[in-house]
Structure 1
Amino acid sequence: MTVEILLTYGVLLLAITLFVTEKLRTDLVAVLIMVILPWTGVISVDQAFSGFASNAVISVMAVMLIGYGVDRAGVMTIVAKFIMEKVGRKEQNIRAATSGAVGVISSFMQNIGAAALFLPALRNIGKRANIPASKLFMPMGFAAILGGTLTMVASGPLIILNDLLVDSGAEAFHLFSVTPIGLALLATGILYFYFFGRFVLPKAKGTESLSPSQEVKATYELTGDMTEVSVPEGSPLIGKSIEEADLWKQFDLNVLALEEDGSKIYSPWRKTQFRAGQSVAILGSDDQVKAFTEAYQLQEKGGLDRFANLENEELAGFAELIIPPKSPLIGKALRDIGFRKTYKIEPVSFVSPDGDREDVNEDPLEAGTTMIVFGRWEDIERLKASREFAVVTEVVPPLPDHQKDKKLPALFSLAVSLTLVLLGFQLSLSFFTGAMLMILLGVIPKKEIYPAIDWKTVFLLAGLIPMGAAFEQSGAAELTANAIIGVAGDWGTIAILFIIGIITMLFSLFMSNVAATVLLVPLVIMMGESFGIDPRGLAMLVAVSASNSFLLPTHQVNAFIMGPGGYRNADYLKAGSIMSILFLIVSVFMTYLLFV
C-alpha cells in the first residue's frame, strides 16, 4: 500500500467524519477537502480546482437558472394547479404523482435536469397545499435518481456500460434491457415514501422562507382555501346581493372576485347582485363552501380557473393593515366607507387593540385595529400612499408591463434546452444555452441572475469532485475493489451480487458514478467469467448500482435539493439508508431473476 493510498484514505475518513458529525457546513467540508488534497500531493492544484469547470457543476448552475426562469414566468403555477386538480392536496398523493412524473422524465433526460424542471412546480404545490418543502423535495430528488435506471440512455453509467461491454467482446444491451429493473426500483421508491415518508422525512420547513402572504396567514391562523363556483340558471342566488345572501354571517365566506361576460370585478361591493352565468371566487373552508353551494344550488369548480391569478403569490395575497392614530377612518365601520367599492380589497378579519376578533363589517374602527385583507398587490400597494392605513406586510412589487407575460419566451428557452439534450449535445452547453436565452429574452432580469443560483450547492459539488479523482488516481479505488471482490469469490452467487451492489454504492458516494462504473465493470466481467456467472448481468448490476447514491448529498441531485429543502446530512442518512437497502435488495433480486 503506497503513501498516496494511505493519504487518500485519511482524507476520505476526515470527509466522512465531518459529514456525519456536521461540525462544519457541508459545502465548507467539500471546500476543505478540495484545499487539503493538493497539499498531500495525491492530485495537482489544477485537478483540485477542476470541479468548477466540470460538466456536472456547470449543468447544475444552468438548470438552476432554467428552473428559476420557468418559475418566475408563472409556468409552474399552471403545472402545480394541474397536478393538484388531479391528485388533490393529500401529501402522499402529491409525493407519488410528482415522483412518478419526474422518474419517467429522467428516463430520457439527465436526472439533474428532470429534478430542476420539477423543483419550481413542487415548491408552488407545497405553498398551495401548505406542505413543507422538506416533505416533498427529497422524494422527488430520489425519484429523479431512480428514473435514471429506466433506460440505457437515462444515466451516465448506463450509457458508458455498452461501450465497456463491446470493448470486452460482450454483446451490448438494447435501449430497454434495464427497464424491468428500473421500473421495480422506481415503484419501490414511490411506495417507500408513500407509506413511510411521514416517518423518515424531516419536519423542518427548510430554507424556503414563508412568503409575506403566508406569514400573515400563519400568524393569524387563517383557514380555508380559494374555490371557484358558477351560478347556473334557476339558482335562488340570482338577483340577491352579496349582503342579502348573507355570505359573511351565515356561511363565513368571503367573495374575492366575480366574472360576468369576460369582465372581472375584484372584492365586489356588498350591493353587487348575483346573475346567472357568473363565476365567483370565494374564500372559506370546504364545509362552508359545500353548505353555500347546496343552499343556492351552485356548481363548484374546485380550484380557481378564471381567477388563477389570485393563487399566484406574485400577484395577490393576504396583507396586514393597521389603523394609525390619526386615521380619518377611526370610529367608522367598513360599510360606512364602502371599503370594497373604494379599495377593491376584501377584508377577511379584524383584531382590535385588546386582541379580540371583531365583525369585519359592523364594528367601528379604532386606532391600533389590525385588518387582515386579501387582494391584488397592485391594489394593496396603493394604500401605502394613504393616511387611512399603515401597510405592515411587505407588498410584492408589481411586475413591469414588459415582464408580466413571459411564459412563451420561458417555454421556448426550455424547449431549446431539452431539444439540444435529446439531440445528444452536452448537458451543460444545452442548458446554459437555454439560460442565456431566458436572460436575453427578459425572462430573468439581469439583477436576478446571480441570486438565482444556489452557490452553496455549486461549491459542494466542485469540492467533492477532486475526492473522486484522488480516490481513482492514487490507486485506492482499485485496491479496495480488488480486495472486496477477492473475498467475495468464495461465497455464493447471491452473496457476490450483494457485494458488487454494496461496493458500487460506496464508490459512487465518493467518486463519479461514471468513474465507478468504468473501474468496476472490467473487474466484475473477469469475476463472472471465473465463477460461471453471466458477466453482462454483473456489469448491468454495477451500472444500475452506481445510481444508489442516497446516503449523503454527494450526488448532484441530492446536492441540488439540499438547500431548498433545508436538509442536513443526518436527513439523508435517515431516509437514504433505508432507500439504499431497498435499492440493493430490489436490484440484486431483479438481476438474479433476469441474468443469473
Structure 2
Amino acid sequence: MKLDALGMAQSTLVFVVLGLTLLAFMWGRFRYDLVALAALLGSVMLGLVPAEAAFNGFGHPAVITVVAVLVLSRGFERAGVVDLIADQVLKVGERLLLQLTVLVGTVVVLSGVMNNVGALALLLPVAMRLSREHNTSPSLLLMPLAFGSLLGGLTTLIGTPPNIIISSYRGDVVGENFSMFSFFPVGASVALAGLLFIVLVGWRLTPHRAGQATAEDMFDTANYLVELRVDEEAKAKGLTLQQLQDELDETIPVLAVVRDDKRSAGYAFYDALQEGDILLLEAGPDELKVLEDKVGLSVVVTPEEDDDSSTIEKQPEHKKDGNNKDDDDSPARQVDTEGLQLVEAVVRTDSMMVNRSVRQLRLHHQFGLHLVAVARDGARLKQRLRDIRFQGGDVLLFQGGENEISESLATLGCLPLAKRELNLGQPRKLFFSMAIFALAIIAMLLDILPTAVALSTAALVSLLVGVLPLREAYQAIDGPVIVLLGTMIPVGQALETSGGAALIADTLLHFGSKWPIVMTLTGLFILSMVLSNVVNNAAAAVLMAPIAASLAEGFDASLDPFLMVVAVSASCAFLTPIGHQSNTLVLGPGGYRFGDFWKLGLPLSMVVMVVAIPMILWVWPL
C-alpha cells in the first residue's frame, strides 16, 4: 500500500479530499468550479496528482467535446432551427395535457442533439408564454420541462456531459469509445417511459402555484409605482439621477422622468432635475419617507384626492400589500407604464451575478440596466434592492434600452423570460447549420474522425461560414462547467490510481456477493443518483466511472453495463433544485420551493431505474 509523506495511505487521502469536496458542493457557499479547482490543487500538493499532469484534464477529449457541443447548440439557436419548432409549439391550444406532451416531448428531442440546458433555455420562454396566454400556472409546466431536458440528454452521446465522460472513460480503458447512438436504445426507452409518466401522472405531483403566470402577478409592478414631483425647495433640484442615488445612499430605480409632458426613460436621462419634473419610480413606504426627508420629493396628488397628509400616508400602505387591485381611483393604478421596456429574466447558476449585489455589479453604469424588483421562490422580495445578493433561479425585473438589453442580459448570464419574439433565421444559415452537424455525425458513425475532432471541426466550420459570430461562440461556452470537468478528471483518476475506487468496489462486492449481480447494479445506480443530486452530474460521472470499472472487474463481467448504469443514473438529478442547472433555472419562474422537486422527482427516478436496468442488461449483456 502506497504511503505519502504524512504516513497515510493515498486512498485515505483521496477519500479525505473527496469528502471535503462533496461537503463544499453541498454547502453551496462557493461556486462548484472553485471548489473543484481547490480539490485539484489540494490533490497535487498531497502528491495524489502529479504536478506535471495537473491540468491535463483541460485537454481531455470529454472537455473538448463539451465545448464543441455548446458552440454548436448556440449555432442552432442563431440559425433559427429551434425557433421553427417553438413556433409550432405555441399553437398547441389550451388543453394542459396537450401542452405538456408537446413541450416535454419537444425538449426531449432537442436535448438529444444539443446541450440539455440550452434546449431548456430556448423553450422556457415558450412555456412561460403558453402559461400566460392560457392562464395556466407555470408551475405545472416548468418542472416537467426541466425533467424532460434531463431525460432527452440520455438518448445520445452529446446530449449530456455524463454520456461524454463515460464514453471517453471507456476509450481510456478498452481503447474504444461509445459511439454517437450507443446510448440510444436504453436512453430512448427511459425517455419515453419518463415522458409518459410525466404527462399522464407526474404533473399532478407538481405544486400548483396559483397567480404566478404573469409578471404583473409576481411583481405587481403598477401597485408599487409612484409619481414624485420636484418642488422649488426640493434638494433634488439640480441633481442628476446618479447624484440623487448617491445622496440617498439607496438603490431606488427611477423608471422615467416627465418634463413638459415629455417622458424620458430613467436609464437614458442624464440632465439635472428641474422644478416641476415628475419622477416615476418604484418605492414602498420606507423609501417614500427617505425620498421626502433627504431630497424633498413629494407624492403627486391627483385632483380626485383631498389635499392632506392622510392621503399620502394611505397611498404607500395600499401599494405595500397590493390587495386592493380593484380600487380604480388609486394613483398607483393610474400610472402609465407603457413603453418602459420592463423585462423579466432569470439568473442562471453560472451567472456573474450570483452572490453579488447591485452596487458590486454596477448594473446601470456597466450594463445600462435598472433593477426594478427581485422575486425568489415565486414571491417578490421586500428588502431593499441594494441589500440583495442574487442567487441562481432569482427572477429579476429590469428596465433598459430595447437594443442593448438582450446583449446585457447575455453578458450577465441571465435568461430573458419576456414574450419571446421568434427569430426564424435565414434559410442559408439554417441549411448550413443542419448540413454541418449532419456531416459531423456521419464522420463519427463511420469512424472517420474521433468524436471530439468531428464536433470541433463542425463548430469551427460553423464559425467560418457565419452561422455564429465568434463573440457569441465564446459566450456559449459554459466556463464553470469546463473548469469543473478539467479539474475533476485528474481527481477522478487519482481515485482510481490510489486504489480508492477498488476499495469502494471491494466493499460493494463483499455486501453484494450473496445477491444477484442485478442487485449490485441497482445499488450502483442509487449511489450515483444520490451523488448527482448533491453535486454536478458531470462530477458524479467522473467519480463513479472508476468505481463501476472496479466492480465489473471484481465480478469478472463486461464493463459496458456498469458504465451505462452510471451514465443513466448520473443524469437522474430529479430530487433537488441544485442537482442540475435545468432544475435551478425553473426554480424562480415556477415559484417552486426546495422540497417540491422530490415529490415528482422521486417517483420519476424509480420509473427510470425500473426501466433502465433491464434495458441495459438486455442491450449490454454481462
TM-score bin, normalised by smaller chain = 0.5 to 0.7
CA separation in 2, counterparts of 1:51 and 1:572? 36
Deviation for aligned residue 1:452: 3.3
Question: Hey, what does 1:253 align to over in structure 2?
Answer: none
Question: Hey, what does 1:139 align to over in structure 2?
Answer: 147
- Are the aligned partners of 1:37 and 1:43 in contact in 2 as well (CA < 8 Å)? yes
Equivalent residue of 1:324, what SS? Answer: strand
Task: Evaluate the alpha carbon distance shift between residue 36 and residue 328 of structure 1 in structure 2; reply closer, same or farther with a 3 A threshold.
Answer: closer
Query: Which of the residues 453, 471, 478 maps onto 1:429?
Result: 453
- Are the aligned partners of 1:8 and 1:470 in contact in 2 as well (CA < 8 Å)? yes
Q: 1:313-351 deviations in whole A, cap 9, x for unaligned? A: xxxxxxx9968231379xxxxxxxxxxxxxxxxxxxxxx
2:505 aligned with 1:451: no
Task: Evaluate the alpha carbon distance shift between residue 435 and residue 414 of structure 1 in structure 2; reply closer, same or farther with a 3 A threshold.
Answer: farther
Task: Evaluate the alpha carbon distance shift between residue 43 and residue 157 of structure 1 in structure 2; reply closer, same or farther with a 3 A threshold.
Answer: closer
2:443 aligned with 1:419: no
Task: Evaluate the alpha carbon distance shift between residue 187 and residue 42 of structure 1 in structure 2; reply closer, same or farther with a 3 A threshold.
Answer: same
Query: Which of the residues 589, 599, 608 maps onto 1:583?
Result: 608
CA separation in 2, counterparts of 1:373 and 1:409? 33
- Are the aligned partners of 2:524 and 2:548 in contact in 1 as well (CA < 8 Å)? no
CA separation in 2, counterparts of 1:561 and 1:46? 36
- Are the aligned partners of 2:24 and 2:35 in contact in 1 as well (CA < 8 Å)? yes
Q: How does 1:384-533 map to 2 (within 5 A)?
A: 393-397=399-403, 406=426, 408-424=428-444, 425-492=449-516, 495-499=519-523, 501-502=525-526, 509=540, 511=542, 515=546, 518-524=549-555, 526=556
Question: Hey, what does 1:121 align to over in structure 2?
Answer: 122
CA separation in 2, counterparts of 1:397 and 1:448? 16
Equivalent residue of 2:400, what SS? Answer: coil
2:210 aligned with 1:186: no
Task: Evaluate the alpha carbon distance shift between residue 22 and residue 321 of structure 1 in structure 2; reply closer, same or farther with a 3 A threshold.
Answer: closer
Gaps of 5+ in 1: 168-172, 204-209, 223-319, 330-351, 359-367, 378-391, 527-534
Q: In the comparison of the two structures, how many residue pairs are matched?
A: 422
CA separation in 2, counterparts of 1:450 and 1:174? 27
Question: Hey, what does 1:549 align to over in structure 2?
Answer: 570
Q: How does 1:167-566 map to 2 (within 5 A)?
A: 181-194=186-199, 195-196=201-202, 324-327=258-261, 370-372=336-338, 393-397=399-403, 406=426, 408-424=428-444, 425-492=449-516, 495-499=519-523, 501-502=525-526, 509=540, 511=542, 515=546, 518-524=549-555, 526=556, 540=561, 542-550=563-571, 561=582, 564=585
TM-score (structure 2 length as normaliser): 0.53
Gaps of 5+ in 2: 3-8, 132-137, 223-253, 264-299, 303-314, 316-323, 327-333, 344-397, 407-422, 533-538
TM-score (structure 1 length as normaliser): 0.55
Q: 1:91-141 deviations in whole A, cap 9, x for unaligned? A: 76555445444545677x6xxx35266345313423423547963663133
Task: Evaluate the alpha carbon distance shift between residue 370 and residue 569 of structure 1 in structure 2; reply closer, same or farther with a 3 A threshold.
Answer: closer
- Are the aligned partners of 2:146 and 2:582 in contact in 1 as well (CA < 8 Å)? yes
Task: Evaluate the alpha carbon distance shift between residue 114 and residue 199 of structure 1 in structure 2; reply closer, same or farther with a 3 A threshold.
Answer: same
Code of the residue aligned with 2:261 in structure 1: it is S
Query: Which of the residues 54, 58, 79 maps onto 2:60?
Result: 54
Q: 1:49-87 deviations in whole A, cap 9, x for unaligned? A: 22322223233333333333332444433221112324x
Code of the residue aligned with 1:52 in structure 2: it is F
CA separation in 2, counterparts of 1:52 and 1:175? 22
Code of the residue aligned with 2:568 in structure 1: it is S
CA separation in 1, counterparts of 2:257 and 2:325? 15
Task: Evaluate the alpha carbon distance shift between residue 582 and residue 542 of structure 1 in structure 2; reply closer, same or farther with a 3 A threshold.
Answer: farther
Deviation for aligned residue 1:420: 0.7
Question: Hey, what does 1:83 align to over in structure 2?
Answer: 89
Deviation for aligned residue 1:176: 9.8
Task: Evaluate the alpha carbon distance shift between residue 41 and residue 33 of structure 1 in structure 2; reply closer, same or farther with a 3 A threshold.
Answer: same
CA separation in 2, counterparts of 1:546 and 1:472? 18
CA separation in 2, counterparts of 1:175 and 1:484? 31
CA separation in 2, counterparts of 1:497 and 1:443? 44
CA separation in 1, counterparts of 2:474 and 2:179? 42
Question: Hey, what does 1:13 align to over in structure 2?
Answer: 19
- Are the aligned partners of 1:321 and 1:373 in contact in 2 as well (CA < 8 Å)? no
Deviation for aligned residue 1:446: 4.3
CA separation in 2, counterparts of 1:175 and 1:522? 25
Q: RMSD of the TM alignment (CA)?
A: 5.4
CA separation in 2, counterparts of 1:446 and 1:164? 32
Question: Hey, what does 1:44 align to over in structure 2?
Answer: 50
Code of the residue aligned with 1:435 in structure 2: it is A
Deviation for aligned residue 1:44: 1.5
Deviation for aligned residue 1:7: 0.6
Deviation for aligned residue 1:6: 0.3
Code of the residue aligned with 2:440 in structure 1: it is L
- Are the aligned partners of 1:18 and 1:24 in contact in 2 as well (CA < 8 Å)? yes
CA separation in 2, counterparts of 1:546 and 1:394? 43
Task: Evaluate the alpha carbon distance shift between residue 67 and residue 589 of structure 1 in structure 2; reply closer, same or farther with a 3 A threshold.
Answer: closer
Deviation for aligned residue 1:484: 1.2
